[in-house]
Structure 1
């Protein structure tokens, strides 16, 4: 088996798991009582971005890489462009979710106003606009291609001077600034929660705060995974020698796929209602099939 086929086999189960987890969250989130709020809307937005990213790797990257398809390689810049949009949607959603948790803990009296459904929808619309519109100027108008190369089975940017400037400011600086902001916000929120927990007395307040803290844990863990991927992709990978092909592959492509896959899994793990809803639908389907077979036999 060729190296490029092994690389495709490594990526596929991770990307496919991301497809299943994130599309499940995106589709079912409207049916969950605990997610009929601003946090649920923002999580849904993040899940769609992650699902788009995982789908492209599972159904574009893997066939292109495994079959060494030249047509897909020649047109990989279009896939790369959509990957960047999906990544931005997920990134901005991460930031909005951290701000949502911060507002909930720090400004409980004003939270419902700050993150009303109307405002939340506006935040999501703005984040998607910022993810989509500037990308056409940066990566299409300026011809800064993000395309697949065989060297390390990875997507990479063109090496033109204008593209190097764009990737430095619009990618490295932007993403690292956002992740630093997310970390600062989450640290402040966690500290506030720890101080607040010592003063809890009312049972109903405890229960409500327990749900808020659970959402906070989810947001912090997803942010931690996000930070890890940025460090491996932007800081560690460039320092790995070109002779270590597999090292660069795992630190870039695999890490990039994993962060979006884990977003969906973490969301499902921290929200037990997802599991209940999935199993309920499975049981209903089994019951329907069983009833149909029984009726037919009778």
Structure 2
């Protein structure tokens, strides 16, 4: 009985934290003007996936751990199927986010065409459709049910030879490969973005600021810890859990793949101070609209509203302008849209629309 209370307490605490942390990420993303974009759409859907996973464990698994209710256990395979579907969608959204960043850095001038809102929603829906089809096929049609087990106090696959073979490839190999690919893409993107930023700054004789270095390091840390948490969840379930005899350690090993959805909300918040600060106070936005058809024509708009998207002002002020949204540090940017190279200054740009 004491072990039941311990595992249910662990589940309740971790998943309660995860629900709140990912809700905070979702609300923060909605308030940030720079998140009214393709990247923001994927990020918000990622937070929703994490919240759904946390709520499945909080509202369904935790009561089963406390009560051993047979009706709940009998129908647990449907919640297990839902949890696996959310897990697969989440991993595919991670890969989509990585490709989004890669495209923004390597194919900047084609980014708006590739990752416009229509294409982003289409890719997101395709990811959901693939995950739903795959999970129903493997875990329901083929009978490899993912249901609650009262020994490990969490979801486990049906213990047969055929199911072990299917899940080894459909879950472990597939998701480990996807995590590795996502991590590699993120590291390549971080390296290229940092290199381009340093080259641009050095060309005008400016050193990279401490805040810029911190942002670059934060992105690398976030990518590493997100990838490491997903990787650890897979390894502990398939490799270490079968070797563990202690029931509580078995529960932790077999549940880490789900707990990482809770941890991810904390990782994102810890790596993105802007997301935390935007929830605490209003932020001053200064937008410069430069009309290059009039050499001295510069309009300045000051906005005191976290919910305002810079894109709205670009539309209002005209398409032939470069808009910089900024608030803290010195950076240099160059515009080549109009056939010339013009240095522009921005203090800590959160969103740049060119």
TM-score w.r.t. structure 1 length? 0.83
The one-character-per-residue Cα deviations of 1:261-295 (angstroms, maximum 9, x if unpaired) are 121122233334443454459xxxxxxxxxxxxxx
Closer, same or farther in 2 for the Cα pair 1:218/1:117, shift >3 Å? farther
User: Is 1:228 matched with 2:229?
Assistant: no
Give 1:38 deviation, angstroms: 1.5
Contact 1:144/1:157, CA 8 A, preserved across alignment? yes
Match of 2:251 among 240, 249, 252: 249
Matching residue of 2:271: 270
Matching residue of 1:144: 144
Counterpart mapping for 1:175-190 below 5 A: 175-190=175-190
Give 1:15 deviation, angstroms: 0.5
The one-character-per-residue Cα deviations of 1:161-195 (angstroms, maximum 9, x if unpaired) are 44223212211111111112112212322332343
Closer, same or farther in 2 for the Cα pair 1:200/1:82, shift >3 Å? same
Give 1:149 deviation, angstroms: 0.9
Distance in 2, matches of 1:2 and 1:200, equals: 61
Closer, same or farther in 2 for the Cα pair 1:200/1:220, shift >3 Å? farther
Give 1:106 deviation, angstroms: 2.0
Closer, same or farther in 2 for the Cα pair 1:155/1:203, shift >3 Å? farther
Contact 2:19/2:51, CA 8 A, preserved across alignment? yes
Matching residue of 1:290: none
What is the total number of aligned residue pairs between the two structures? 278
Distance in 1, matches of 2:213 and 2:112, equals: 18
Matching residue of 1:8: 8
Contact 2:46/2:93, CA 8 A, preserved across alignment? yes
Contact 1:101/1:216, CA 8 A, preserved across alignment? no
SS of equivalent to 1:53:
helix
Contact 1:11/1:257, CA 8 A, preserved across alignment? no
Distance in 1, matches of 2:163 and 2:95, equals: 26
**What are the ranges of 5 or more consecutive residues in structure 1 without an aligned counterpart?**
282-298
Stretch deviating more after TM superposition (118-127 or 195-204): 195-204
Q: CA RMSD in A?
A: 2.8
Contact 1:101/1:212, CA 8 A, preserved across alignment? no
Closer, same or farther in 2 for the Cα pair 1:280/1:199, shift >3 Å? closer
Stretch deviating more after TM superposition (78-87 or 180-189): 180-189
Contact 1:101/1:215, CA 8 A, preserved across alignment? no
Matching residue of 1:293: none
Matching residue of 2:156: 156
* Higher share of residues assigned strand: 2
**What are the ranges of 5 or more consecutive residues in structure 2 without an aligned counterpart?**
283-354
Matching residue of 1:83: 83
Matching residue of 1:294: none
TM-score w.r.t. structure 2 length? 0.71
Higher RCO, Cα 8 Å, sep 6+: 1
Counterpart mapping for 1:87-102 below 5 A: 87-102=87-102
Closer, same or farther in 2 for the Cα pair 1:257/1:135, shift >3 Å? closer
Closer, same or farther in 2 for the Cα pair 1:68/1:156, shift >3 Å? same
Counterpart mapping for 1:1-298 below 5 A: 1-201=1-201, 213=216, 218-238=222-242, 240-241=243-244, 243-253=245-255, 255-279=256-280
SS of equivalent to 1:148:
strand
Contact 1:17/1:261, CA 8 A, preserved across alignment? yes
Larger-gyration structure (1/2)? 2
